[in-house]
A and B are shown apart, each in its own frame.
Chain A
Amino acid sequence: MTNTNDPAELDEVHEADYEIESMPDETSTTDKSYSQGQLVLRRFFRHRGAMVSLTILVFITLLAFTSIGFGPIPGWWGKNHIDLYPIVEVAGAPTLTLWPFSLGEHPFGQTTIGKDYFALVMLGTQNSLAIAFTVGLAATLIGTFIGATAGYFRGLSEAFLMRVTDLFIIIPTLVLAAVLGRMAGNVGGIFALAGMLALVSWTGLARLVRGEVLSLREREFVAAARAVGTSPWRIIVRHILPNALGTIIVNATLLISSAILVETALSYLGFGVRPPNTSLGLLISENQNALSTRPWLFWWPGVFIVGIALVVNFIGDGLRDAFDPRQQMD
C-alpha cells in the first residue's frame, strides 16, 4: 500500500505533472491514429465467428467462380453443366470420398440423365451469389437514398416517400417479385431479375436509414455545418451518411442473405431463373421428387443455400458487434 498523502513525497512531484491537458503526443502510447472505421475493422477482425464465416464465404465464392469458369473464362473443372456423361456409379451417386480424400469422376453425383451435378451446383451458386450481391447493393442504394432524403428534408417529401415505402411494404414481397420476376425473366438475364428483386426489398433499409438520419440531423455537428452555410446534399453525403454507415452496412449484409432466400423461393416456384440456366432454388425444385431415390440431388444445393445464408448472417452479426460494441454480451 502506498500512502498517497505523504506530503514529503508529494513535494517532490513536479508541478508540470499536474497539467490536466496533456497534449496527445505525450499521452498516446502509440503514434498510430485510429479512425472510427479502423477501430471497427479491428473489432471485426477479432470476431471469431465472423472471420470463420468470411473465410467460408470467400472459399465458396472462389470455388464457384474458378471451378467451371465465368463467362468466356474457362475453369479448372473439366466438365460443364450441359453435356451428358456416362453414368459412373449406381444411379449416378456422388464419387466424393472424404477418407482417403478423392473427388472421383462426379464428386456431387449425376442427374437422372447423366449431367455432372458438381458443375450444375457451381453454376447455381454463381447465379445465386451474383443475384444476392446485386440485390444487396442496389437495394441499399435505393433504400439509403430514399431514407436519407425523407429523413433530412422532412415535410412533404418525407410524407410522400414514406407513404410510397408503405405501399411497397403492404404488397407481399413474394407476389410482387413473382410478377416482376416473370417480366424480368422474359426480358432476360439474372441481372434483370436481381434488379427487380432490389426494387421490392429496399423498404426496410429506407425506414432504418430515415430513423437514423432523423436523429443525426439534430446533432450539433450538423447544426455547425449548417451554420457555415453547407448545402443540404453536402451535409447528407459528407456529414450524416458516414455516421449512419454502421446501420447501412449491417442491414445490407442481412439484405444479401434474405435476397438469397427470396431468389431461391422464386426459382423454386418457377418465377426466377429459367433453364437451361440454373440456380440453387431451381435445382431443388427440379429434383424435389428425387429426395427418396437420389437424395444428393436435393442435399447439395440445400447445403449451399443454408451455408451461404448462414455465413452472410454471421458476418452481419460480426459487423454489428464491431460497429456497436455495447450490444455485445459480457
Chain B
Amino acid sequence: MTTTPRFTGEQPVLKFDSLDVQFRTEFGSVHAVKGITLSVAPGEVMALVGESGSGKSVTATTALGLLPKSATIDGETFVTDKSIGTLGGRQLRAMRGNRVAMVFQEPMTALNPVITIGEQLTESMEVHGVAFGAEAWDRAVELLDAVGIPGAERRAKQFPHELSGGMRQRVVIAMALTCDPDVIIADEPTTALDVTVQADILDLLRSLKDKLNTGILLITHNMGVVADMADNVAVMFKGTIVERGPVEQVLLQPQHAYTKKLLAAVPRLGKGHGQFGVAPHPVEEGAQTALDVRDLVVEYHRAGKKPFRAVDGVSFDVHRGEIVGLVGESGSGKSTIGRALLGLIPSESGEVRVLDQDLLGIRGAQLKSLRRRIGVIFQDPAASLNPRFPIGDVIAEPLSVHKEGSAKEREARVHELLDAVHLPRTVYNRYPHELSGGQRQRVSIARALALSPDLLIADEPTSALDVSVQASVLAMFTELQREFGFACLFISHDLAVIDSLAHRVVVMQFGKIVEKGTREEVLLDPREEYTRRLLAAAPVPNPIEQRQRREARHELLRGFGDEVVEFDTRELDQGGWSKRSQD
C-alpha cells in the first residue's frame, strides 16, 4: 500500500475544469466557487479540505448536478468522459448513483426511516437496471456483508433506527457501492461519528479504493482524517484552491499562509497545555471544592419500559480554579451530567454540592441564587442564542433576570464583557444570525460570564466550530479562566482539546466512569482498555505518524481480539459482481 500520488496515466474519473458557481440571494449574489480546477484519478483519494463556507460542498454537489436553481454555474464538470452541464434530466439521473455516488455526512438523515435497509439498497439497483427482485436482494445482503455488517441477512430487513451510527454509515457506503460507481464523493463521511467508529469507517473506505479501484473525493475539515486517508490534498479557502499536492507535502511542508495557519490551529494530542497562547494556571494546593458530585444517577423514564439509566453512580469533584475535562463518546452520558448539574433534568439519586450547597435539595429563591453562581456554555451557539434578541440583550439577560444593576450599569457591563471576549462593541445592536459561528460562541461565553460565576459548565463549547476558530476560542477561554479563576467542567469528545487545557480528566462510557486522574496519567499513560482504544483512534494531522498510529491501533485491536474493518470482496467475486471488472 502506498500513499504517494498515483499518476497511472488513466483518464480521471472526476474532473472540474475552471468551475465557477454563484448563488443569487436576497442580498445580492454570493460567489461560492471561483474557478477551480481539480481531478480525481481511479483509485485515488483526493481530499478537499477547507472550513465552513469555503465552497467545498458546493463543488462536490455540482458533480451530481444537484445544485438549486438559484445557482449560476460556469466551467465544466466531467464524470469520466461526460460533461455534467450538457446532460438532460434523464441522462443525469442515469449517471447519479451509477457512475458517481455520494456518501453523506449524517447517516440518520441520509437513510429513509420508513423503508428497510435492504429495500433502500435494492432501489438504486432496480432504478439503474443492475439487478431486480430476488437477485437484487441477494446482492444487497452481499454488500452489507462486504462492508462488515454482521448478520447481514437479518439486518437487511431492519429499519435505519435499529442500527447504530457507525452501522448506518456502513449502510450508506454500501448504498453508494450498489452500482459499482467510478467515483465516490464522500462529504464529511465521519464528522457525525465517534472517533472509534470514525477509525473503522476510514479503514473501510481505504480498503475500497484498493480493492475496487474507485476514485474518492473526500470532503472534510478534519486534518487527521486527511492524513489518514488521502493521497492528494487540495486546500480550499473562500472558493479558491490555495494549495494542492501530495498529502505528505501539504501537511508536513505547507507553503501557503492559510494552510500553515490551519495546521497550526489543529489541537494535537500529547502536546499538552499552552498549545494556543497561554497555559491555564496550575491549581493551588488545597483549593476549595467548587463542585462535588457523589453517586449521581440520572434516569430517563420511558412509557411502558424500564427507565433508561443514562448516568449510573458517577462521582467526581472540581476544585476552584481547576478545569476538569469530561470525555466520552456519544451516549456515554457526559452531556446528561452537564444538564443534571444545571438542574435542567431531574436526578434520580446521589448528591451534588455546588460551592458547599446541596444543589438537589434546595428550591425556589435559594436555587435561583445558587444558579447565578453557575455559568453555562452550550455546544451549538446558533441554537443557544435567542434569534430574536440583539447581542446586547442576550448578554444582559442573566443580569436582568437577577435584577442586577440599572439599565445603564448593565450596558456598561455588557461592553466590558464584549471587550473580554475580543468582540467589537459595535455588535451590541446586531442579531445572532449576522455573526459567524465563532463570534456567536464568544457571545455565548460572554453571557456565561455575565454574573461572574464561580463554576462554569461548558458542554462541547468548540465542537460546532471550525478548527482555526476553535483555536482562537480555546485561547480566549484559557485567558479568561486565568483572569476570572472560575472552576470549570469542560465536556468534550475531543481528547486533543481536553489535552490542551484540562488539569484533570474523567473518561466515561455507558454512563459510568471508566478512568479518572490527572491529564498526564489518563492521556499519556492510560490504564483501561477503553481509554486506550479511544486514544488510538484519534487521528493526528501527520500522514507518516498517522500510518504508524493506524498500524499500532490495528495491533491493539488484534490484541483485544477484534477484527480490523475492511471491504470484503470474497463474497462479491463469487456472486459475479463488479460488472466493469468483467468487461
Contacts and interface: CB of A to CB of B under 8 A. Distances in A.
Nearest to B371: A229
Q: Which of B36, B402, B426 has the most A CB atoms < 10 Å from its CB? A: B426
Interface in A226-270: 226-231, 234, 239, 242-243
B242 A24 contact: no
Contacts of B69: 330
Given A13-B257, A24-B435, A227-B344, A1 B424 contact: no
Contacts of B379: 220
B196 to A, nearest CB: 27
A77 interface: no
A224 B447 contact: yes
Given A227-B343, A230-B397, A325-B26, 16 more contacts: A1-B35, A4-B242, A18-B261, A20-B436, A22-B436, A23-B424, A24-B430, A24-B439, A33-B431, A34-B431, A220-B380, A220-B384, A221-B385, A223-B384, A228-B376, A243-B387
Interface in B43-81: 51, 68-70
B339 interface: yes
Given A24-B435, A227-B371, A242-B388, A7 B376 contact: no
A84 to B, nearest CB: 57
Interface residues of A, number: 41
B386 interface: yes
Nearest to B234: A5
Nearest to A230: B401
14 contacts: A4-B35, A4-B241, A18-B242, A18-B261, A20-B51, A21-B469, A33-B430, A33-B434, A221-B387, A224-B378, A224-B447, A227-B374, A228-B401, A229-B371
A327 interface: no
Q: Which of A25, A219, A224 has the most B CB atoms < 10 Å from its CB? A: A224
A292 interface: no
B433 A2 contact: no
B19 to A, nearest CB: 10
Contacts of B257: 13, 15, 18
Q: Which of B68, B241, B367, B384 has the most A CB atoms < 10 Å from its CB? A: B384
Contact of A18 (B258, B339, B376): B258
A242 B389 CA distance: 9
A43 B434 CA distance: 17
A33 B258 CA distance: 30
Given A23-B424, A228-B398, A239 B386 contact: yes
Interface of chain B: mostly helix, strand, loop or mixed: mixed
Which size class do B's interface residues fall under? 35 or more
A4 B378 contact: no
* 9 interchain residue pairs of minimum CB distance: A229-B371, A220-B384, A18-B258, A242-B388, A229-B368, A220-B383, A228-B398, A4-B240, A221-B386
B383 A227 contact: no
B492 to A, nearest CB: 17
Contacts of A35: 388, 390, 431
A36 interface: yes
B261 A219 contact: no
Interface in B422-446: 423-424, 426-427, 429-431, 433-436, 438-439, 444
Given A24-B434, A228-B372, A36 B242 contact: no
A4 B242 CA distance: 7
Contact of B434 (A28, A231, A243): A28
Interface string A272-307: 000000000000000000000000000000000000
B193 interface: no
B81 to A, nearest CB: 21
A24 B424 contact: yes
Nearest to A219: B383
Q: Which of A25, A227, A230 has the most B CB atoms < 10 Å from its CB? A: A227
B157 interface: no
A4 B36 contact: yes
A41 to B, nearest CB: 13
Interface in A22-44: 22-25, 28, 33-37, 42-43
A1 B371 CA distance: 59
